[in-house]
């Protein structure tokens, strides 16, 4: 998809963070935007700001995802791009994480992507458009205290890898953006193992990227119709090197960097 002018874009998690940043950028490029999120007040405020359609939706509910897509198509007449940006972040020891918290994070991050994508495919197939998932470097490489969150992102990556092949004959673009740590409200509401937000932002072992850089990555992915874009870009080579070295060296580096964030 070389240009966004006149295209219809549906963004989940669109009331703040990466989703809102994408909405502002895409609307500025002439796209017709629909925003979906759970909080109707914040959603309406974000939609008014850019002149978007607000569609209150809990992506963890399949029926609501179907209604979200149908309302978007009913309003605009088509759907060209779905961006799955809704998500929850979880950081904490795996063995301490409650089953309820695991289910909550998987429902939003994994089932939310599945339900929205299933509902969007028939319409995106007609326009030969794009299905985009916001993943994470935690979905490419396991890290301590991110076992559950990383598992959800690995799942999303596997899902979209399979869909890229399944939908290739339909000329549907299926792509994933995998950034590192990003400065979004998600970090302020990061869940602990008990399902409650951490009382303060957790220290991180690597660079925190601004939302604008992720927005640039998504726009580049759409323009080039690539399968995946990393932030930072050179992580692609570290992932390949990891496979060749049996992850021995990177295990040590990751373990040491995360240990430092705890002050050990």
Q: Sort 17 into a burial class: Cβ within 10 Å, 0-12 / 13-18 / 19+.
A: buried
149 is catalytic: yes
Q: Are the beta carbons of 25 and 96 closer than 8 angstroms?
A: no
Q: Which residue has the higher pLDDT, 145 or 203?
A: 145
- Taking residues 12-39, report their average pLDDT: 97
Q: Are the beta carbons of 220 and 22 closer than 8 angstroms?
A: no
Which pLDDT does position 264 carry in this prediction? Answer: 41
The 10s digit of each residue's pLDDT in 66-89 is 999 999 999 999 999 999 999 999
Write down the mean pLDDT value for the chain. 92
Determine the topology of domain 8-236 in CATH: Rossmann fold (3.40.50)
Secondary structure string (H, E, C) spanning 84-118? ECCCCCECCCHHHCCHHHHHHHHHHHHHHHHHHHH
The 10s digit of each residue's pLDDT in 205-260 is 778 889 999 999 999 999 999 999 999 877 777 777 777 777 777 777 777 777 77
Q: Which of 149, 160, 220, 238 is catalytic?
A: 149
How far is it, in rounded angstroms, from Cα 182 to Cα 185? 9
Percent over 90 (pLDDT), the chain: 78
Helix (H) or strand (E) holding 19: helix 17-28
């Amino acid at each position: 998809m070389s240009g966004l002018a006149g295209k219809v874009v549906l963004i989940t998690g669109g009331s703040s963070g990466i989703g809102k940043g994408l909405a502002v950028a895409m609307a500025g490029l002439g796209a017709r935007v629909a925003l979906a999120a759970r909080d109707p007040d914040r959603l309406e405020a974000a939609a008014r700001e850019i002149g978007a359609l607000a569609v209150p939706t809990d992506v963890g509910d399949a029926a609501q995802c179907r209604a979200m897509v149908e309302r978007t198509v009913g309003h605009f007449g088509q759907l060209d791009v779905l961006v799955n940006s809704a998500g929850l972040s979880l950081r904490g020891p795996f063995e301490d994480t409650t089953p309820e918290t695991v289910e909550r994070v998987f429902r939003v991050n994994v089932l939310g992507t599945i339900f929205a994508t299933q509902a969007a495919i028939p319409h995106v197939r007609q326009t030969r458009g794009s299905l985009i998932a916001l993943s994470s470097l935690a979905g490419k490489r396991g890290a301590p205290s991110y076992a559950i969150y990383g598992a959800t992102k690995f799942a999303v990556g596997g899902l979209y890898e399979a869909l890229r092949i399944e939908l290739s004959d339909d000329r549907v673009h299926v792509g994933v953006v995998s950034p590192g740590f990003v400065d979004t409200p998600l970090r302020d509401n990061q869940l602990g193992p008990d399902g409650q937000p951490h009382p303060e932002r957790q220290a991180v072992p690597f660079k925190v990227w601004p939302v604008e850089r992720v927005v640039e990555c998504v726009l580049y992915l759409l323009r080039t119709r690539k399968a995946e874009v990393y932030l930072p870009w050179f992580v692609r080579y570290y992932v390949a090197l990891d496979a060749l070295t049996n992850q021995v060296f990177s295990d040590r580096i990751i373990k040491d960097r995360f240990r430092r964030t705890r002050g050990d």
